[in-house]
């Protein structure tokens, strides 16, 4: 399978085609609606974060400056403004600038005005108190959980968590999640599932909210619910493995529908970071390859990801770029087992409990070494996280990256149990790299080291780093 999971030129070309629609004077994307522009900006931020590139970061600043006087509030619809809250949270994660987080909080505060006791709770879709639907409440859940994770003020953090839990308690009891574990559009006048269209984005946004709430509470039922929804969507909404919107059959999804599939994929990608099922990875890669193979000569991508381009606009383009972003992200993280690495002077073992993969290695003699081969889609700075034990005392080893010394005698603090040591900000090239851990006793390496695996992760985003 040809996967467009490299930073350049393929995915970069798709991003460039998205920015062709960007209007500098409005800060929005031409050819699409207001809420779609929030998603196009989120796509742009994801791309900047995943590839660690700066070309479109100016759009972030510009969109904020041109529109901040509106506070990104919509006169009619709570869901439309919710997208902007998610986008500004991502902008905060990318830049660490508090004003973006503050804007997300302002938007959320306004959304709380839409909550009332009709149907036992939930936020209205329309500000004239019409229709309690899935998307508005999924957004509300996700924003609340994300704001909780980013609030340093304790009272504020508790408030956001209370909203998230209140929303989920209500949502799961409404019946909007049907017997197939798929989410219908909303509630009817008797507060029951109205049986209306199962849009892909309604199977997506919920995943992000549940994953975040799971990170906060560690309640396994939340992750199980997310898994059930994701599995059902992949099984039921993707003929021949390619995600399809219900409206595609008539080849008319209006202005909104073309955005939805990307939103699902973005959140499936979030779920995969917490629940790395091989099936999710395969699904992302298969869809990315399919849509990319259908691009036109200007790298434009259409409504259907399984057939030729119908028309080009910013909604279609950003939606498709979401799955391409997800595919790149898969190529920037990976876990490598020590027992499968290239070993010199070492043997593998599988006696101690709790190892990952099929075993681990024990390093204790002069000049022994472990060399990992690491394939990365995008060049940039990464964190290398080693899972190890050092039973007797602190162990020290040389770390080499691509044949060059990265760390003199990295310390692996004494630990009877499996622990992690992270080496931050290591430059890796697109393509193949080598990472070696070398016992150089002459230069001060010492003590035995048990090594289980190495995990390669993109350097954390700035705002995100406050979370740990």
| Rounded least distance, CB 373 to Ca ion, Å | 15
- What tokens does 362 get? 């024990």
- What tokens does 194 get? 């109205």
Tell me which residues touch Ca ion (CB under 5 A): 337, 355-357, 360, 452-453
User: Using an 8 Å Cβ cutoff, are 423 and 362 in contact?
Assistant: no
| Rounded least distance, CB 453 to Ca ion, Å | 5
Pairing of strands 22-23, 342-344: unpaired
Q: Which is nearer to Ca ion, 59 or 436 (CB)?
A: 436
Q: Residue 62 and residue 439: Cα distance in Å, rounded?
A: 51
Strand partners, 389: 450
Could you identify the residue written with the tokens 């949502």? Answer: 171
| Residue of minimal Cβ distance to Ca ion | 357
Q: Which is nearer to Ca ion, 313 or 452 (CB)?
A: 452
| Rounded least distance, CB 350 to Ca ion, Å | 8
**H or E element: which one contains 418?**
strand 415-428
SS3 317: helix
Q: Which is nearer to Ca ion, 126 or 356 (CB)?
A: 356
Please report which residue ranges of 131-199 form alpha helices under DSSP H: 134-149, 154-174
Strand partners, 415: 390
Q: Which is nearer to Ca ion, 141 or 454 (CB)?
A: 454
Q: Residue 105 and residue 93: Cα distance in Å, rounded?
A: 14
| Rounded least distance, CB 409 to Ca ion, Å | 23
- What tokens does 170 get? 């209500």
| Rounded least distance, CB 361 to Ca ion, Å | 8
What φ, ψ does residue 59 adopt, rounded to 5°?
-65, -35
- What tokens does 42 get? 């989120």
Q: Which is nearer to Ca ion, 166 or 455 (CB)?
A: 455
Radius of gyration of the chain (CA): 24
Pairing of strands 431-438, 369-376: antiparallel
Distances from the Cα of 112 to the Cα of 106, 115, 159, 205, 210, angstroms: 10, 5, 11, 18, 19
Is the bond preceding residue 9 a cis peptide, omega within 30 degrees? yes
Q: Residue 328 and residue 320: Cα distance in Å, rounded?
A: 13
| Rounded least distance, CB 346 to Ca ion, Å | 13
| Rounded least distance, CB 388 to Ca ion, Å | 10
| Rounded least distance, CB 434 to Ca ion, Å | 18
| Rounded least distance, CB 340 to Ca ion, Å | 8
């Amino acid at each position: 399978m040809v996967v467009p999971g490299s930073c350049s030129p393929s995915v970069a070309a798709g991003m460039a085609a998205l920015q062709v629609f960007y209007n500098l004077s409005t800060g929005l994307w031409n050819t699409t609606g207001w809420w779609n522009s929030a998603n196009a900006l989120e796509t742009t931020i994801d791309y900047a974060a995943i590839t660690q590139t700066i070309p479109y970061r100016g759009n972030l600043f510009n969109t904020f400056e041109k529109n901040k006087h509106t506070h990104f509030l919509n006169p009619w619809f709570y869901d439309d403004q919710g997208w902007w809250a998610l986008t500004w949270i991502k902008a905060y994660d990318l830049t660490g600038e508090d004003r973006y987080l503050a804007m997300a909080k302002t938007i959320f505060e306004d959304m709380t005005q839409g909550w009332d006791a009709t149907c036992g709770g939930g936020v209205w879709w329309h500000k004239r108190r019409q229709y309690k639907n899935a998307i508005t409440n999924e957004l509300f859940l996700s924003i609340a959980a994300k704001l909780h994770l980013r609030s340093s003020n304790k009272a504020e953090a508790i408030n956001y968590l209370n909203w998230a839990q209140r929303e989920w308690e209500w949502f799961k009891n409404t019946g909007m999640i049907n017997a197939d574990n798929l989410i219908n559009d909303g509630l009817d006048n008797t507060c029951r599932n109205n049986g209306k269209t199962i849009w892909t984005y309604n199977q997506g946004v919920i995943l992000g909210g549940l994953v975040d709430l799971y990170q906060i509470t560690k309640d396994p039922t939340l992750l199980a619910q997310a898994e059930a929804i994701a599995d059902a969507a992949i099984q039921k909404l993707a003929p021949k493995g390619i995600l399809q919107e219900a409206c595609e059959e008539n080849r008319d999804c209006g202005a909104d529908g073309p955005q939805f599939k990307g939103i699902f994929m973005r959140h499936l990608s979030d779920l995969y970071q917490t629940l790395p099922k091989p099936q999710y990875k395969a699904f992302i890669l298969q869809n990315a390859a399919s849509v990319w193979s259908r691009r036109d000569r200007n790298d434009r991508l259409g409504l259907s990801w399984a057939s030729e381009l119908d028309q080009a606009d910013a909604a279609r383009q950003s939606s498709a770029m979401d799955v391409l972003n997800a595919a790149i992200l898969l190529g920037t993280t990976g876990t490598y087992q020590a027992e499968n690495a290239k070993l010199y002077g070492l043997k593998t073992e599988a006696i101690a409990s709790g190892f990952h993969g099929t075993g681990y290695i024990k390093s204790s003699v002069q000049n022994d070494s472990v060399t990992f081969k690491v394939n990365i889609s995008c060049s940039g700075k990464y964190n290398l996280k080693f899972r190890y034990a050092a039973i007797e005392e602190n162990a020290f080893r040389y770390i080499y990256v691509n044949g060059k010394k990265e760390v003199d005698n990295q310390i692996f603090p004494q630990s009877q149990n499996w622990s992690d040591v992270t080496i931050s900000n290591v430059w890796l090239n697109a393509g193949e790299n080598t990472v070696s851990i070398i016992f150089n006793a002459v230069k001060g390496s010492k003590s035995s080291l048990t090594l289980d695996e190495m995990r390669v992760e993109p350097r954390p985003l700035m705002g995100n780093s406050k979370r740990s």
